[in-house]
Amino acid sequence: MNRPSEPADWTLAQAVAHLRTDRTAPAAYREALAARTREHAHLNAYLHETFHRPEAGRHGVLSGVLLAVKDNIDVAGVPTTAGTPALRQHFPSRSSTAWERCARAGAALAGKTALHELAYGTTGHHALGPPALNPSAPDHLAGGSSSGTAAAVAARLVPAGLGTDTGGSVRIPAALCGIVGYRPSLGR
């Protein structure tokens, strides 16, 4: 497998391979992506950066891989604001099933990403700050509602992320940012 040398250039599969073979220390991987995130802060991809370590004893297919998570998906102890001032102090005590499954597979949280307020729109505008911008055209929006996740993945701040999609909320920003957004079938 061809492995680019910089963590920001790794696909999800390459990040998994590097972290599994101990070629890259998880701390160095986290710092490389945190540095890239600082360099690209102008994209407004994150509402809350964390760069958490995976929980102790959680080794699996995603062991140590950093993921971005849309800020309407609960991660225990991390704010879930849904981009609205009314939820600024909402710190869930339990993680969503989607995040819990990723964490159980060893994933680490890079941060909670920007979204259209209450995930109800296609532009990515929210009341907590400026909207996420398109990494390929920073004078354009990333779309919505999973705008921050699409911007983070397209800018290679993380190799993958979680969003939500009812009417195109993952697929629209993915298409605008030039990446793949996947909405699984209902009940999967």
Residues with active-site annotation: 70, 145, 169
What DSSP string describes 105-119? Answer: TT-EEEEEEP-SGGG
